[in-house]
Each structure stands twice: as structure tokens, then as C-alpha cells.
Amino acid sequence: MRVRAMTEWQGQEPVVERGGPAELAELLARRAVVVLSGAGLSTESGIPDYRGVTGTWRRHRPMTYQEFVADPAARQRYWARSHAGWRGIARAQPNTGHHAVQRLRGSGHLSAVITQNVDGLHQAAGTRDAVELHGGLDRVVCLDCRRTSGREELDQRLHALNGALWDSGARTNPDGDVELPQELVTGFRVAPCTACGGTLKPDVVFFGENVPKERVEHCYRLVEGGQALLVLGSSLTVMSGLRFVRYAVKLGRPVAIVNQGPTRGDGYAAVRLTLPLGAALTGLADQLGS
């Protein structure tokens, strides 16, 4: 299924809370809960989200897959801005929320973690088997020969060609890029694939691009195997995440959502809480002895 922005849903509905921390702990005590995490889990690590309280959506629109593939100037703009923002992503550290998820995973309360995030912070916190629904910024893929390589390798090459654009001091956006003066973009030199000279793209799913079918099917199987679904820090604005909430409900699995703002899945949730994720998840892990 293609990832696209749901611009018709503005997220202005008030949040109606249901249940409380006790109900959430009761759900997790059943064990075999599947987590679906979004950008709100990483805001405490200094990475902004798109549609949260401090989200960037109104001032920043991510590049679409169609733009990237069709327009060399768009690719130049993307890589200039991404090169400037990569240090901010690479320096980010897992926060207490990521560590609490790993504690709950390690104790068996969570059977799987699916993340919409591309920052790699679940893995850095120890959840090595977290499924990256939208890929990861730490890898790049050649659109011609399909070779995958590490982002650090590309970063070194871009640095040799263009210097340290990350010294611009601009704020990093959720997809890892920053705003740059046009003169830096115009003069930016893009590095080709070292294997075939082809076009490199970050190994992430852009808006307008399909999430790989086998990855989606794997996530469906994880939801099937779980006893409940817990959504953490996602507005569920794009269907790539919302479909798993709808699927869980179809299967009769209870859904819990913890998010600071309204979500498109609120009407499906048996438990709906507005809490700071780091403190809330740490408290749950402590309570459950994880």
C-alpha cells in the first residue's frame, strides 16, 4: 500500500480519554502485546514529529517519491538538505521511552515492535528485531542495481565533495533534513552509486511510495499473533499505520493508544491516554517488573 499524506484529516478533533494507567497495565499484563510506534516516541530524543504539538507539518512538506525519481534538481535538493541534517539524526540517542519498550519486550510483555520511525532508536535501545515499516535512514539503496550500503559511507563521500553542511545550525526535520539557503543547494554535488554509477536513495519509504508487500504481510502476521495492539506516539494519519489498528479490531484484539494529540484511530481504542511517553512507559515497566 502506498504511503500518502491524509490531508483531508486535520487532526483537530478533541481527545476523549478512555481508561487510565491501570487499564493500560492490565492490558500489558496479558503479555504478547504488539507495539506500533510513531514519531511521538522520538521527540524526547530531540527529533521533531510531523503533526504533534511541536510538529513541522505546517511549515515543512517531505519530498514525494515521484519528485525524487523524476527530477534531478529535486534529488540535489533532497541530498543537500539530508546531508546537512544527518549529523542530527546520527547523534540522537534513545530516550527513556525506547528503553522502557525494550524492557517490556525483554520481559515478554511485548511480542513484537513495529515502528513507523526511520531513526533507528528502537534498535539502538536494544530492540534489534523491531520492524522498520518505513525503512531506516542509516542505509541507502541504488535505484538502478539495488545495492544497499551504509549511510555513514555515503556521508563521508558527500563530505569530501561538499564539506560539512551540518554546520548551518538549522533545525532537523522528522525525515532527517534541514532547511538550507538556495545557494548551498544549487552548488551541491550528489554522489552516485559506487557499484554502477546509478541513483542513490535513502532506504526509506517516501510519501507516494509503496511499503514493500512482504513487510506489510509480516506486520499483519505479528498483529495476528499478538493479544493486543499498543500504539505509541503516532497520529495514525497515514494508512500504512492505521490499517494495523483496523486489522486488530477486526480480529477482536483490544487497541490502546498513548499519544499527545488526536489520532485517526481514537474511535477504535479501548484505552486512550494522553501522557508523556518516556515517563508513562518507564512507570509501566517498573510496575510490571520489567
234 labelled binding-site residue: yes
The CA distance from 268 to 149, in Å, is 40
Q: Are the C-beta atoms of residues 120 and 135 closer than 8 Å to each other?
A: no
210 labelled binding-site residue: no
173 labelled binding-site residue: no
10 labelled binding-site residue: no
Given the residues 109, 134, 159, 218, the one annotated as active site: 134
Query: Is residue 134 annotated as part of the catalytic site, yes or no?
Result: yes
Grid coordinates belonging to 246: 483496523
145 labelled binding-site residue: yes
Q: What are the E-state strand segments in 74-132?
A: 110-115, 131-132
259 labelled binding-site residue: yes
261 labelled binding-site residue: yes
Grid coordinates belonging to 121: 532508536
From the list 115, 71, 72, 144, the residue with the least C-alpha distance to 204 is 115
Amino acid 15 reads V
119 labelled binding-site residue: yes
According to DSSP, the residues that pair with 36 across neighbouring strands are 114, 231
277 labelled binding-site residue: yes
C-alpha separations of 82 from 190, 201, 244 in Å: 11, 11, 30
Coil, strand or helix at 21: helix
Coil, strand or helix at 11: coil
The CA distance from 77 to 46, in Å, is 24
182 labelled binding-site residue: no
The CA distance from 137 to 120, in Å, is 8
230 labelled binding-site residue: no
The CA distance from 133 to 3, in Å, is 11
260 labelled binding-site residue: yes
Binding residues: 116-119, 142, 145, 193, 196, 233-235, 259-261, 277
Active site residues: 134
- Name the binding residues for NAD(+): 116-119, 233-235, 259-261, 277
Binding residues for Zn(2+): 142, 145, 193, 196
